[in-house]
């Protein structure tokens, strides 16, 4: 598999580390139900068949965390952006 790193260009899968679904956001630790929110954040993931925005770390390249949109059925990659510059 090749991943299009926004900084480095198309790179081999072996340069990256996978981190999973990019949707969960670290909850507010001051929230009243923080322990529930964190439990969900740490452990619960959807497992959709289809396009998924995922976190990947370009460990052997520019050391950027990326949000890669990958179809989990086909491994087709629609695009990748730097997590730091991602609006969401």
Partner 1 sequence: MTRLGSGGLIDRSQQLRFTFDGKSYAGHAGDTLASALVANDVKLVGRSFKYHRPRGILTAGAEEPNALVELGTGTRREPNTRATTVELFDGLVASSQNRWPTLALDLLSLNQLLSPFFVGGFYYKTFMWPASFWEKVYEPLIRRAAGLGRASGLPDPDAYEKATAFCDVLVIGSGPAGLMAARTAARAGARVILCEDDFRLGGRLLAERVEVEGRPGAEFARSVEDELAAMPEVRIFRRTQVFGTYDGGTYGALERVADHLLAPPPGVPRQRLWHIVARRCVNAMGAVERPIAFADNDRPGVMLAAAVRTYVNRFAALPARRAVVFTTTDDGWRTAQDLIAAGAEVSAVVDPRREVPDSIMAPLARSGARLLRAAKVTRAIGGSSGVKAVEVAQGGSLLRIEADGLAVSGGWNPQVGLTTHKGSRARWSPELSTFVPGSLPEGMRVAGAVSGDYGLSACLRAGHDAGSAAAQDCGFAAASPDVPRAEDEPIAVAPLWHVTGGRGKSFVDQQNDVTVKDVEIAWREGFRAVEHLKRYTTLGMATDQGKTSNVVGHAIMAELTGRPMEDVGTTVTRPPHLPVAIGAFAGRHRGRHFKPTRYVSGHDWALRHGATMVDAGQWLRPQWFSAPGETDWLTSVIREVKTTRLAVGVCDVSTLGKIDIKGKDAGVFLDRVYINRFSTLPVGKARYGIMLREDGFVMDDGTTARLGPMHYVMSTTTANAGKVMQHLEFYHQVVWPELDIAMVSVTEHWAQYAVAGPRSREVIQAIYGTAADVSNGSFPYLACREIMLGEIPTRLFRLSFSGEMAFEIAIPARYGESLLGELLREAVGRGGCAYGTEALGVMRVEKGHVAGNELNGQTVVRDLGLGRMASSEKDYVGRIMAGRPALVASDRPTLVGVQPVDSKQRLRAGAHVLALGAATTAENDVGYVTSVVYSPTVGSWIGLALVKGGTAQVGTRMRAYDPVRNGDIEVNLVSPIFVDPKGERLHG
Partner 2 sequence: MVERGPLVLRPASAIPELCGSVELSRAWVLACERHPQLATVIAYKGRRADVAARLKDRYALSLPDGPRRATRGASALIGLGPRSWLFQRETGPALEPELSEVLGDAAAVTNQSDGYVVFRLTGPRVRDVLAKGISIDLHDRVFVPGCSVGTTCAHIGVILWRLEDANDVSVFELAVFRSLARSLWHFIEESAAEFGLAVTPAC
* Residues near partner 2, by CB under 8 A: 7-9, 11-12, 14-15, 60-64, 82, 84-85
Looking only at Cα atoms, what is the longest distance across the chain?
Answer: 44
Beta strand 9-12 with 2-5 is antiparallel
Q: Give the position of tokens 């909850």.
A: 27
Residue 35 DSSP class: H
Nearest approach, Cβ of 41 to partner 1 (angstroms)? Answer: 8
Touching partner 1, residues 34-53 (CB under 8 A):
34-35, 38-39, 41-43
Identity of the residue, 18 or 48, whose beta carbon is nearer to partner 1 in the bound complex: 18
Question: 3-class DSSP state for residue 86?
Answer: coil
Q: Is 77 in the site for partner 1 (CB under 8 A)?
A: yes
Nearest approach, Cβ of 16 to partner 1 (angstroms)? Answer: 11
């Amino acid at each position: 598999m090749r991943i299009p790193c926004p900084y480095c260009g198309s790179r081999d899968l072996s340069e990256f580390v996978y981190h999973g679904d990019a949707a969960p956001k670290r909850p507010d630790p001051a929230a009243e139900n923080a322990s529930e929110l964190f439990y969900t954040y740490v452990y619960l993931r959807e497992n959709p068949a289809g396009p998924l925005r995922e976190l990947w770390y370009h460990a052997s390249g520019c050391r950027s965390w990326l949000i890669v949109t990958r179809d989990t059925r086909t491994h087709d990659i629609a695009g990748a952006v730097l997590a730091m510059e991602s609006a969401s």
